[in-house]
Structure 1
Amino acid sequence: MVDTSKSSKEDATTATSRAEVIEAVKDNYIRTVDEIAKVQPQYLQSISNLQLDYIQTTKNVIQTAFSVQKQVASNVNIPATPYADLFVKQANEITNNTIRAVGINNQLTINALDAARENLKIYNRSIDAVTDFGTNVAKAWTAFYTQSQQQFTR
């Protein structure tokens, strides 16, 4: 008869060591992700502040450029053309169409981001289901293997 008590103790110690290593690696990954998550709001705020500064700078450049043009135009006596009203009307239409296009683009972008977020939720649920399946397969295989080993050691 074979003494399996020493072998069983070594197997249990090895399995415990493996489980501890896996748990430590998992904890380290989670800690890393948590640290990244801590600074994410700061990044978002910095990006938002940068965007607001760009917008303000762009508005300032536009105001300054047109202020200079307006001063030059007021000092030069150029007769009004019959096309001035038509030009203003067309410029307003182009601007309105551009604003509508930007609004549509913004809504499409928000919808795409919401869909991506929903896909991440679905992916997360899928990973949970696959993990459960894998765990059940491992348990079934372990039970089968254990029963087979017990039959041979009798």
Structure 2
Amino acid sequence: MVDTSKSAREETTSRTDVIDAVKDNYIRTVDEIAKVQPQYLQSISNLQLDYIQTTKNLIQTAFSAQKQVASNVNAPANPYADIFVKQANEMTNNAIRAVGINNQLTINALDAARENLKIYNRSIDAVSDFGTNVAKAWAAFYTQSQQQFTR
């Protein structure tokens, strides 16, 4: 006579071992991705800083050449130069304020996304707990039902 409870336990253990192995492999994979994430961020940050420096250098060089050409030309003074400079400064200040507002909105959106992930994570835990409790209740009910029939 075969001990069915022993083979059932072995089968259950085998299934849980497979589930644990798959879960562990997923977690290891995510951990490996997380290890390189700071390196990616640093590389992206360095690239951005290089682009910024290159752009500033391009602007300096281009306007230096224009300034040199303008200083060598004998032309009458522009009566609207002061107005143009004032308006250019106002437009630049407005653009800088708009960028600042956009940055703050982006940061707020990213913070809200992080909060939503935290809420989602808590929801996953709650649903998992509920599913576990349902499975335990069903297993207890099933076990009791089987015991009634085997008596």
Partner of 1:93: 90
Which of 66, 71, 76 is matched with 2:73 structurally? 76
Which of 31, 36, 41 is matched with 2:38 structurally? 41
Partner of 2:54: 57
Distance of 2:77 and 2:98 partners within structure 1:
32
Distance of 2:37 and 2:77 partners within structure 1:
55
* Structure 1 position 8, deviation (Å): 1.2
Distance of 1:34 and 1:101 partners within structure 2:
38
Partner of 2:25: 28
3-state DSSP of counterpart to 1:82: coil
* Structure-1-length-normalised TM-score: 0.96
Partner of 1:107: 104
Distance of 1:138 and 1:120 partners within structure 2:
26
Amino acid at match of 1:111: N
* Structure-2-length-normalised TM-score: 0.98
Runs of 4 or more, structure 1, over 3 Å off, are none
Partner of 1:136: 133
Percent of matched pairs sharing the same residue: 85
Q: Which runs of 5 or more residues in structure 1 are unaligned?
A: none
**Structure with higher RCO (Cα < 8 A, 6+ apart):** 1
* Structure 1 position 111, deviation (Å): 0.4
Deviations, residues 10-49 of structure 1 (Å, cap 9, x unaligned):
1110000000000001110111011111101100000000
- Cα RMSD (Å) of the superposition? 0.9
